[in-house]
Structure 1
Amino acid sequence: MINSSLIHIDEVFTWADDFTKVTGLTTYAALQVYAECCYFQDPNALLERLISIEAEYKLQLEESETDEDDEPDIDGEIWSEHYGKYQLILESIGEEDAKKFAEHYEKILVHHGFNKQFSVYFIDHFHPLSEYVTSNAPPVDKRFLFQNQYSYEPYFTEPPEAPEYRWHEIMERLEREPSIDPTGWIAVFKMLGYRGMHGNSDPCWSDYEPSFYLGPSVAEAKKISEEEGFDFDENEEDFWGIYEQTPVFIAPITITEPNTFSWDMFELRHELKKACDTAIVLYAAPYILRAPDSKSFISVWGEILEGENWKVMPLHANSISLETILNNSFEESSGPDWQNATFDQPLVEIWQKHHVTLNGLSASANTSEVIGFKPGR
Structure 2
Amino acid sequence: MINSSLIHIDEIFTWADDFTKVTGLTTYAALQVYAECAYFQDPNSLLERLINIEAEYKQQLGDSGITAQEDFDIDGEIFSEHFGKYQLTLGCISDEAAGEFAEHYQKVLAHHGFNKQFSVYFVEHFHPLSECITSNAPPVDKKFMFRSPYSYEPFFTEPPEAPVYRWHTIFERLERQPDIDPAGWVAVFTQLGYAGIEANPHPSWPDYEPSFYLGPTVTEAKQFCEDHGFEYDEDDVDFWGTHELTPVYVTPITVTEPNIFSFDMIELRIELEKVSDTAIVLYSSPYILRAPDSKSFISIWGEIYDGETWKIMPLHANSSSLQTILDNAFDSSSEPDWQNVSTIDQPLVDLWQKHHMPPKELAPISNSSEVIGFKPNHSRH
Q: Which residue of 1 aligns with 2:357?
A: 356
Residue 368 in structure 1 maps to residue 366 in structure 2:
no
Identify unmatched segments of 5+ residues in structure 2: none
Deviation at 1:183, TM superposition (A): 0.8
Q: Which residue of 1 aligns with 2:239?
A: 240
Q: Higher mean Cα deviation, 189-198 or 157-166?
A: 189-198
Residue 263 in structure 1 maps to residue 263 in structure 2:
yes
Q: Higher mean Cα deviation, 160-169 or 135-144?
A: 135-144
**Aligned 1:125-140 pairs, distance under 5 A:** 125-140=125-140
Alpha-carbon separation, structure 2, partners of 1:362 and 1:252: 16
Q: Which residue of 2 aligns with 1:342?
A: 343
**Aligned 1:76-115 pairs, distance under 5 A:** 76-115=76-115
% same residue: 69
Q: Higher mean Cα deviation, 127-136 or 26-35?
A: 127-136
Q: Which secondary structure state, in structure 2, belongs to the residue aligned with residue 190 of structure 1?
A: helix
Alpha-carbon separation, structure 1, partners of 2:345 and 2:134: 35
AA aligned opposite 1:240: F
Q: Higher mean Cα deviation, 177-186 or 234-243?
A: 234-243
AA aligned opposite 1:342: T
AA aligned opposite 1:281: V
The number of residues matched between the two structures is 374
Compared with structure 1, are the counterparts of its residues 24 and 360 closer, same or farther at alpha carbon in structure 2 (3 Å cutoff)? closer
Tell me the TM-score normalised to structure 2 length.
0.91
CA contact (8 A) 1:256 1:371 kept: no
Tell me the TM-score normalised to structure 1 length.
0.92
CA contact (8 A) 1:65 1:72 kept: no
Alpha-carbon separation, structure 1, partners of 2:38 and 2:169: 21
AA aligned opposite 1:141: D
CA contact (8 A) 2:32 2:43 kept: yes
**Aligned 1:54-93 pairs, distance under 5 A:** 54-65=54-65, 75-93=75-93
Compared with structure 1, are the counterparts of its residues 324 and 225 closer, same or farther at alpha carbon in structure 2 (3 Å cutoff)? farther
Deviation at 1:189, TM superposition (A): 0.9
Q: Which secondary structure state, in structure 2, belongs to the residue aligned with residue 319 of structure 1?
A: coil
CA contact (8 A) 2:182 2:204 kept: no
AA aligned opposite 2:8: H
Compared with structure 1, are the counterparts of its residues 122 and 361 closer, same or farther at alpha carbon in structure 2 (3 Å cutoff)? closer
CA contact (8 A) 2:113 2:146 kept: yes
AA aligned opposite 1:63: D
Q: Which secondary structure state, in structure 1, belongs to the residue aligned with residue 272 of structure 2?
A: helix
Deviation at 1:76, TM superposition (A): 3.0
Deviation at 1:233, TM superposition (A): 4.4
AA aligned opposite 1:325: I
CA contact (8 A) 1:353 1:363 kept: no
Deviation at 1:240, TM superposition (A): 2.5
AA aligned opposite 1:374: K
Compared with structure 1, are the counterparts of its residues 24 and 362 closer, same or farther at alpha carbon in structure 2 (3 Å cutoff)? closer
Q: Which residue of 1 aligns with 2:157?
A: 157
**Aligned 1:283-322 pairs, distance under 5 A:** 283-322=283-322
CA contact (8 A) 2:357 2:367 kept: no
Compared with structure 1, are the counterparts of its residues 42 and 301 closer, same or farther at alpha carbon in structure 2 (3 Å cutoff)? same
Compared with structure 1, are the counterparts of its residues 363 and 34 closer, same or farther at alpha carbon in structure 2 (3 Å cutoff)? closer
Alpha-carbon separation, structure 2, partners of 1:72 and 1:353: 38
Deviations 1:13-69 (A, max 9, x none): 1111111122222111111111111100111111111111111122223333559x8
CA contact (8 A) 1:222 1:232 kept: no
Deviation at 1:364, TM superposition (A): 5.6
Compared with structure 1, are the counterparts of its residues 204 and 223 closer, same or farther at alpha carbon in structure 2 (3 Å cutoff)? same
**Aligned 1:158-197 pairs, distance under 5 A:** 158-197=158-197
Q: Which secondary structure state, in structure 2, belongs to the residue aligned with residue 342 of structure 1?
A: coil
CA RMSD of aligned residues (A): 2.3
Deviations 1:176-235 (A, max 9, x none): 322211111111111111122215341153441111111122134356778xx4457454
Alpha-carbon separation, structure 1, partners of 2:138 and 2:3: 25
Q: Which secondary structure state, in structure 1, belongs to the residue aligned with residue 368 of structure 2?
A: coil
CA contact (8 A) 1:199 1:213 kept: yes
Compared with structure 1, are the counterparts of its residues 204 and 78 closer, same or farther at alpha carbon in structure 2 (3 Å cutoff)? closer
Deviations 1:278-326 (A, max 9, x none): 1000111111111222232111110000121000011111111111111
Compared with structure 1, are the counterparts of its residues 120 and 361 closer, same or farther at alpha carbon in structure 2 (3 Å cutoff)? closer
Q: Which secondary structure state, in structure 2, belongs to the residue aligned with residue 118 of structure 1?
A: helix
Alpha-carbon separation, structure 2, partners of 1:60 and 1:361: 41
Compared with structure 1, are the counterparts of its residues 204 and 302 closer, same or farther at alpha carbon in structure 2 (3 Å cutoff)? closer
Alpha-carbon separation, structure 1, partners of 2:373 and 2:231: 41
Q: Higher mean Cα deviation, 72-81 or 336-345?
A: 72-81
Deviation at 1:123, TM superposition (A): 1.7
Deviation at 1:99, TM superposition (A): 0.6
Q: Which secondary structure state, in structure 2, belongs to the residue aligned with residue 311 of structure 1?
A: strand
Compared with structure 1, are the counterparts of its residues 313 and 287 closer, same or farther at alpha carbon in structure 2 (3 Å cutoff)? same
AA aligned opposite 2:141: D
